[in-house]
Amino acid sequence: MASSTPSPITKAIFPVAGLGTRFLPATKAQPKEMLPVVDKPLIQYAVEEAYEAGVREMIFVTGRHKRPIEDHFDMTFELEVALENAGKQELLDVVRSVKPDDMECIYVRQAQALGLGHAVLCGQRLIGNDPFAVLLADDLMVGPQPGRGILKQMVEQFAEWRASILAVQEVPAEQTRRYGICAGTQVNDNLMDVNRIVEKPAPEVAPSRLGVAGRYILTPGVFHEIANQPRGVGGEIQLTDGIAGLLRREKVFAFRYEGKRYDCGSKEGFLQANVELALAHPQLGPGFREFLHGLGL
């Protein structure tokens, strides 16, 4: 993993307590965040993105069946000894790089999946009074080039504006029901001062087509809002509603990131990510491309 300069954002919450029903049966007994895209589980992509942005405290909000995530970021003594004895240094490096020494992993339990807002609230005591990031690992985000991850771009915006930053992208009108949708005043080509955010609106009432992707930088004021709001869409405690409360008291910006998002919580998005990342993989790419050509693609 790349090292980085001191970051104003050093803590991140990874909510991984959802039920993953869209990916059944694969997620019946394992977390969707452990599904591999090419050769890495989804959660590792998100953790690497946060690390690149300068985050060092990774706070996982876990639920049932989430043990494999804890194991993944733990030391695997037997495996390391076996690889060392076999002289497989390259693989040993791969295993060790999953958790660099200066990265801390902390686990909090969300006893019931009451919604994303509730999951974020579970991290409140560990965050304290600092601004923090939230990364949804089932949104796999790929920057335009190495070293330009989406969270890193957002941290740069935070450093400039010192306010909450939401990653947004334009979504097709018929898909507004899948996203938090926001509207506001344009500050520059990539940034909007948000004055409205709605969770999963129908296309005819959506305030825009700017959908929030699974990356947020939030100020700690959001905890108070989440804790004092009624349940929202689907009977869940929604993060979007907490942000709607926050923007009545503080500035919140929507940032059009540079890069690509794969919705790996859906089977289609997951397959697309696998194909595109396999094609871009330095070792696997050429052979995989040939294989696809062989299929007449």
Q: In this chain, which stretch among 38-46, 133-141, 146-154, 181-189 interacts with ligand UTP, using CB under 6 A?
A: 133-141
3-state class (DSSP) for residue 186? strand
Phi, psi of 22, rounded to the nearest 5 degrees: -70, -15
In the list 91, 113, 187, 233, the residue contacting ligand UTP (rule: CB under 6 A) is 113
- Kind plus residue range of the DSSP H or E element containing 92: helix 89-96
Q: Is 191 in the site for ligand UTP (CB under 6 A)?
A: no
| CB-nearer residue toward ligand UTP: 21 or 186 | 21
Q: Are strands 164-170 and 180-188 parallel, antiparallel or unpaired?
A: unpaired
Query: CA-to-CA distance for 175 and 290, rounded, in angstroms?
Result: 34
- Please name the residues in contact with 144: beta carbons below 8 A apart, sequence gap of 6 or more: 258, 259
- What one-letter code names the amino acid at 260? K
3-state class (DSSP) for residue 18? coil
In the list 8, 21, 203, 220, the residue contacting ligand UTP (rule: CB under 6 A) is 21
| CB-nearer residue toward ligand UTP: 32 or 163 | 32
Residue reference for tokens 């992509």: 45
Binding mask 55-94 for ligand UTP (x = CB under 6 A): ------x---------------------------------
Binding mask 239-268 for ligand UTP (x = CB under 6 A): --------------------------x---
Q: How far is the CB of 297 from ligand UTP (least distance, A)?
A: 29
In the list 35, 46, 136, 198, the residue contacting ligand UTP (rule: CB under 6 A) is 136
3-state class (DSSP) for residue 22? helix
In the list 35, 42, 53, 116, the residue contacting ligand UTP (rule: CB under 6 A) is 116
Ramachandran area for residue 278 (φ above 0: left; ψ -120 to 50: alpha; else beta): alpha
Q: In this chain, which stretch among 131-139, 148-156, 157-165, 216-224 interacts with ligand UTP, using CB under 6 A?
A: 131-139
Could you say which DSSP state residue 34 is in? G
Q: Is 15 in the site for ligand UTP (CB under 6 A)?
A: yes
| CB-nearer residue toward ligand UTP: 66 or 191 | 66
Q: Is 278 in the site for ligand UTP (CB under 6 A)?
A: no
Query: CA-to-CA distance for 11 and 56, rounded, in angstroms?
Result: 6
3-state class (DSSP) for residue 152? helix
Q: Which residues of the chain form contacts with ligand UTP (CB under 6 A)?
A: 15-23, 61, 110, 113-116, 118-119, 136-138, 265
